[in-house]
Amino acid sequence: MVQAKQNLEAQPDLPRTPRVTYRAASPAAVLAEDGILAVFGFGAGAPDDDDPRYLPVPLESFDAPAPLEAWHVEAEVERGRQDAVHWSAGGSWLFASVTLDERQTGGIEGAAYQAYAQLQRFMRARTGHRVLRMWNYLADINRGEEDAERYKQFCDGRSSGLGDFFARGFPAATAIGHHLREPLLQVYLLACTDEGMAVENPRQVSAWQYPRQYGRTSPGFARGMLMPMRDALAISGTAAVVGHASTHAHDLDAQLDETLLNLESLLATADMPAGFDTHSPLKAYVRHPTDAARVRETLQQRLPGVPVLLMHGDICRRELLVEIDGWRY
């Protein structure tokens, strides 16, 4: 299946991308396997585990019981904690997370500043790792008006916490609102000692070039990131944004169609074959629980056999009802 195109040419000397799977198992059982870089639980009922590779994510899944997400590398994995940063590393790959409570940071902007400043400091101390992919989950993402909307304050704090850390290019990213009672900000990342290749979507204005109406600070992320070995594409949170504008406000079916077009366009731009398969785990973030069944039905029909985790999450523009991210191997 490998195409004779430049981006997809195998890079055999470079590290193979972590395998991401959804698993019905306990954290302890998965963490005991060889080469486990990270394990994620979902929602208020997520199990506990003290291992810094285990991260309970404050998003509820519509799948009951929620599976775990596991990242697997072909190497021995070490792990630790440094201040608020939990980390693990193995075979060129690095996982790091920070979870902060806004009540300790004076709000979302301060939390974003601290989370990114700490991650940035941690990454600079470990020379050589480049951040390829980031995830951000925050409470009440759409509360507040205009520049005072919490997502925009998050973007301000993220940017000042980073300084010039992404001057050489932004990672792929996701930013989603959670519904946990506690005002937690969670940020985690995947980094590698080798460089990826950022991919933009020709149907969309690059996020860092969004016009002023979307906030003082443009969101710093790439639409996708080809992994160093060119064996996988990490896909950022993708919604019904065309150009810089949201399309099909409040129309779920049309937003899903537009989102799937954006995903196909991103794959084509990365020189990847069209479509997704059983090895390409995706997540669909759905704003209204009453839309979950419809999203599941549409995705089963349009992406048959693809593992899709359905999450209850708010999208960073309030007119958007659904967003999809994930991996294309």
- Comparing CB distances to ligand 3EB, the nearer of 174 and 186 is 174
Phi, psi of 148 (to 5 degrees): -90, 0
Quick one: which of 30, 36, 70, 173 contacts ligand 3EB (CB under 6 A)?
Answer: 173
In whole angstroms, the minimum distance from the beta carbon of 316 to ligand 3EB comes to 4
**Among residues 111, 139, 190, 239, which is the contact residue for ligand 3EB, using CB under 6 A?**
239
CB atoms within 10 A of CB 27: 24
At how many degrees (to 10) do helices 150-162 and 108-125 cross? Answer: 30
Which lies closer to ligand 3EB via its Cβ, residue 30 or residue 235? Answer: 235
As measured in angstroms, the least distance from the Cβ of 275 to ligand 3EB is 22
* Smallest separation (angstroms) from ligand 3EB to the CB of 317: 7
Nearer to ligand 3EB, 73 or 187 (CB): 187
Binding piece for ligand 3EB, criterion CB under 6 A, among 8-16, 102-110, 236-244, 252-260? 236-244
Q: 19 or 203, CB closer to ligand 3EB? A: 203
Tell me: does residue 177 bind ligand 3EB (CB under 6 A): no
237 belongs to the binding site for ligand 3EB (CB under 6 A): yes
Q: Does 241 bind ligand 3EB (CB under 6 A)?
A: yes
Query: Collapsing DSSP states into helix, strand and coil, what is residue 292?
Result: helix
Q: Token pair 């077009």 is at which residue? A: 261
DSSP 82-138: ETTEEEEEETTEEEEEEEEEGGGTTSHHHHHHHHHHHHHHHHHHSTT-EEEEEEEEE
174 touches ligand 3EB (CB under 6 A): yes
Task: State the DSSP string of 71-98.
Answer: EE-SS--EEEEETTEEEEEETTEEEEEE
Cβ closest to ligand 3EB, residue 181 vs residue 212? 212
Which helix (H) or strand (E) segment holds residue 328: the answer is strand 322-328
Residue at token pair 């000692």: 193
- The stretch near ligand 3EB (CB under 6 A) out of 74-82, 111-119, 235-243, 266-274 is 235-243
Q: How far is CA 212 from the centre of its chain?
A: 24
Query: Looking at beta carbons, which residue is closest to ligand 3EB?
Result: 237
Interaction pattern, residues 264-303, with ligand 3EB; x per rule: CB under 6 A: ----------------------------------------
Strand arrangement, sheet containing 233-238:
60-61, 308-312, 282-286, 322-328, 233-238, 224-226, 197-199
Q: How far out from the chain centre does Cα 1 lie? A: 27
Question: Per CB under 6 A, does 316 bind ligand 3EB?
Answer: yes
Residue 236 binding ligand 3EB, by CB under 6 A:
yes
CB contact at 8 A, 298 and 306: no
Based on CB atoms, which residue is closest to ligand 3EB, 219 or 307? 219
Smaller CB separation from ligand 3EB, 114 or 174: 174
Interface of this chain with ligand 3EB, residues 121 to 150, rule: CB under 6 A: 136
The residue behind tokens 């399309």 is: 247
Torsion of CA 63, 47, 278, 325, to 10 degrees: 80
Q: How far is the CB of 219 from ligand 3EB (least distance, A)?
A: 3
| Under 8 Å between Cβ of 285 and 323 | yes
Contact status: 186 vs ligand 3EB (CB under 6 A): no
Residues forming contacts to ligand 3EB in the complex (CB under 6 A) are: 136, 173-175, 207, 219, 221, 236-237, 239, 241, 316
